[in-house]
Amino acid sequence: MQFSKAPITFEKQVELLEKRGLVINNKKSAAFYLSHINYYRLGTYWWAFTEDHQNHTFKSGTTFEQVLNLYSFDRELRLLLLDAIERIEVSMRTQWAYHLAKKHGSHAHLDSEAFTSKFNHEDFISNICTEIQRTSDTNIKRQNSKYKEQTPAIWIVAEVMSFGWLSRSYDAIGRRALKNDIADSYKVKETILSSFLHHITTVRNICAHHCRLYNRDFTFTMKLPTNGDRVLLNSFSGTTKQLYNTLVMCAYFMDLISPNHHWKQKLASLIDTYNIDVTEMGFPENWQELPIWNSIK
């Protein structure tokens, strides 16, 4: 099948949306937004307001402002989620380097015996060396030139390696007891931590590439704990492919890493400000009454 759609002007895009039933109160404003937010990108948001997906017609009364409201909410949600993931990532880098160094020395990452045989240790070190050469951090450059070693110490390497490699290298630690030592810092089992890190690596990439989070189904779902902290266990939703449980885990980690944070309050305020139907993200109806969110009241 050959693609037959011809490109159209921003003004024609507005007309097309009107023909499909979208209420546009200010055509000039709508054309302006479409000139800065790609039609296709915005279309992933008005999909939630579509009545007939085959014919691309909108539910009666749907306005351009409603679509733009959802887009703006999702943008701020990505930024808020990145804030939590950043703090989780920084903490995890610290724990990973600390425990590996304590067990295998200052250059533990160079020891292939510290990892499982299935782990591609050669690619891991190659990637680290590339990141060190590419970094603009003068302190790391100074450390790298000061000592005649393949790489700087693990606590320096931890700051330049990608989050993806951090996740994979944690999962590949050879001694399960060492993995559990790191996981104990977050009061979860190592299998739960491995799964969560894999999952939020994906979520982080979605946020970093400005992709839609709202009503997204994740292809990789994290493993949820079945024992441990009752506040955490009693706050999950039965819907596993959507965003809600990710937010629960992030809130849990934030409570441990940064006890005085206001991240949960910001999330609730964001939802309230944009008046969002959160069931589309897997939220249970009584979500604010669940233990993990009690502090936002």
Are 88 and 172 contained in the same domain?
Answer: yes
- What pLDDT, on a 0 to 100 scale, did the predictor assign at position 197? 97
Give the integer Cα–Cα distance in Å for 8 and 28: 16
Residue 3 in any domain: the answer is no
Are 284 and 209 contained in the same domain?
Answer: yes
CA distances from 285 to 277, 279, 280, 281 (A): 10, 7, 11, 11
Tell me, what DSSP letter sits at residue 259? Answer: T
Degrees to nearest 5, angle at CA 255 with 228 and 202: 85
Are 177 and 54 contained in the same domain?
Answer: no
Instruction: List, for the chain, all residue ranges whose pLDDT scores fall below the cut of 50.
Output: none
Domain with 133 in it: 71-296
Are 40 and 181 contained in the same domain?
Answer: no
Q: Indicate the burial class of 229 (C-beta count within 10 angstroms; 0-12, 13-18, 19 or more).
A: middle
- What pLDDT, on a 0 to 100 scale, did the predictor assign at position 297? 60
Are 39 and 145 contained in the same domain?
Answer: no
